[in-house]
Structure 1
Amino acid sequence: MRVAVIAGSISAGIRIAKEIEHIPGVDVSVVLCNVGMRSPLLRWSRELLLALGSLKWGTFTAKLCSYVRRGRVFILRRPLEDPTSIQYLRSLQFDVGLHAANVIYREATISAFRMGILNAHIGILPKYRGRSVAQWSILQGDPTGVTVFFIDSGIDTGGRIVLREFIPSKGCNDVEALRNRLFSCADRLYRQALEALGRPEFQFERNNISAGKRYYVMSKMLTGVVNEILSN
């Protein structure tokens, strides 16, 4: 299975690739994509300079150099939805993409991957789609967690769920701590999702969107209420 980590930052791409690189039958690469208005080369150069001052510099650069030497790092100089980028992705013949960039995927980009693109959504699907879903879950007294599913061009409406994991909010004193806990599970859950996809008996769970609703960004006032709930 050829897997590409679609990353907006070098560190995120290498971190996720490192998590999944030892799965039997998985060949992993990193695709660095152009996100935002700033020049991607300037952004990645700044990222490397910041990493230079960290204690993890040696490990990070060794792993990055290893991927570069083996031809496992690909750079999209144009936006992800640009026809040139899509054509390039198709030529690489990846089976699965892993979402690790702050982008919205169009159907043409998704279809460049044989099976599609996986997303680690910090909410329990199908009930919680959209934005601020961890906060809305707390406000409504529901458990928090992460769902790994194949996306489509809608907002968390992709029909194929690979796995869901309930992750308790206990010990998180505010929204930021809760979101950090949920996001920190993404690498491990991507690995588990790929392992599941490799099993002959695996079957998808249906993302029945009629069983949930789309949520929007929570207001500051309600976020304050959620912080109170978490701190008590």
Structure 2
Amino acid sequence: MKIALLTHRRATRCAVIASALAERGIRPDLIICEAQPQPPAAARLRQLILERGPQALADKLLARLIRPRAAASRDEAQAERPPDAPSYAAQHDIPLLDLPDLNSAASLDRLKGEAIDLMVHAGAGILRAPLLAIPRLSVLNAHMGVLPRYRGMNVAEWAAWENGPLGATVHWIDPGIDTGRIIRVAPVDFQGIGSVAALRAAVDKAQIAALADLVAEMVASDHQPSAQAQSREDGRQYFTMHPMIVGLLEQRLAQSA
């Protein structure tokens, strides 16, 4: 089975997924990198305010003032991060294919010639229907929420905030947002989770393990697993959680741990 990971050049998620696959004796045949151009500063600022509110601008300016004092800690954190996609590909001698836009006609023609059986979303952007139709077995994704209930952004945090089901879902990607057929849900226990960082880490660990296990099963069987369709009405779309709510959630988790 020919497996390709879809990612972008700065993504570290590709290395995390590839490492989990390697632990199960699977080596991707190809890493496909989409260029991710840096938007203009004004556009980034507008997006920051839309996602996090006006206070985010003040927080950003404050962070710049204290940056010199935090440089050493930041360097240590960077050193602990997984490598980006090109670095991982070079380290493990995996072919790397750079494409400016995964959904362009030229990229689609190029990918059709690769005869890929399975694609795994590993940090790429939004995928359109023509790309989803290229691999023989379609495109897999791991999602940090229980589908169909929790679609969209910060769903681990929203599940904790609402005392809803916590977990991860492996599903096929379709042209919607987290609306593809559900293959597997990996539940996560709230017990012992005392921070938002711990919450995200627990759900991320569950989603990577579930995804890697499923790929290993597919490699062994060379077949699509059974999957359950979901309708758009079955769930709800969530958006970026406001920092104020994140702070309240942090306090709640710390008190309940």
TM tier relative to shorter chain = 0.7 to 0.9
Distance in 2 (CA, whole Å) between partners of 1:151 and 1:55 is 30
User: What is residue 116 of structure 1 aligned with on the other side?
Assistant: 138
TM-score normalised per structure 1: 0.77
Equivalent position amino acid for 2:17 in 1: I
Displacement after TM superposition at 1:75 (Å): 2.0
Matched, 1:177 2:198: yes
User: What is residue 203 of structure 1 aligned with on the other side?
Assistant: 226
**Structure 1 residues 192, 225: closer, same or farther in 2, change over 3 A?**
same
User: What is residue 2 of structure 1 aligned with on the other side?
Assistant: 2
TM-score normalised per structure 2: 0.70
**Cα shift readout 1:86-109 (whole Å, capped 9, x = no counterpart):** 221111111211111141111122
Equivalent position amino acid for 1:13 in 2: C
User: What is residue 42 of structure 1 aligned with on the other side?
Assistant: none
Q: Which moved more, 1:220-229 or 1:143-152?
A: 220-229
- Greater helix proportion: 2
Contact 2:186 2:207 in 1 (8 A): no
**Structure 1 residues 166, 89: closer, same or farther in 2, change over 3 A?**
same
Displacement after TM superposition at 1:157 (Å): 0.8
- One of 162, 168, 173 as aligned partner of 2:183: 162
Distance in 2 (CA, whole Å) between partners of 1:131 and 1:175 is 14
Which entry has the higher C-alpha Rg, 1 or 2?
A: 2
Distance in 2 (CA, whole Å) between partners of 1:150 and 1:100 is 13
Displacement after TM superposition at 1:77 (Å): 3.5
**Cα shift readout 1:26-73 (whole Å, capped 9, x = no counterpart):** 7633222212328xxxxxxxxxxx9xx95899xx999744643xxx42
**Structure 1 residues 64, 80: closer, same or farther in 2, change over 3 A?**
closer
Q: Which moved more, 1:212-221 or 1:201-210?
A: 201-210
Gaps of at least 5 residues in structure 2 are 40-74
Gaps of at least 5 residues in structure 1 are 39-49
**Cα shift readout 1:111-150 (whole Å, capped 9, x = no counterpart):** 2222221111000001111112112111211131110100
Contact 1:127 1:209 in 2 (8 A): no
RMSD over aligned CA atoms reads 3.2
Displacement after TM superposition at 1:24 (Å): 7.4
User: What is residue 218 of structure 1 aligned with on the other side?
Assistant: 241
Map 1:11-160 to 2 at 5 A.
11-21=12-22, 28-37=29-38, 54=79, 64-65=89-90, 67-68=92-93, 72-158=94-180, 160=181
SS in 2 for 1:105: coil
Aligned pair count? 214
Displacement after TM superposition at 1:202 (Å): 4.1
Q: Which has the higher contact order (CA 8 A, sep 6+)?
A: 2
Displacement after TM superposition at 1:207 (Å): 2.6
**Cα shift readout 1:133-170 (whole Å, capped 9, x = no counterpart):** 11211121113111010011111111x21211011233
Contact 2:29 2:95 in 1 (8 A): no
Contact 2:121 2:141 in 1 (8 A): yes
User: What is residue 44 of structure 1 aligned with on the other side?
Assistant: none
- Greater strand proportion: 1
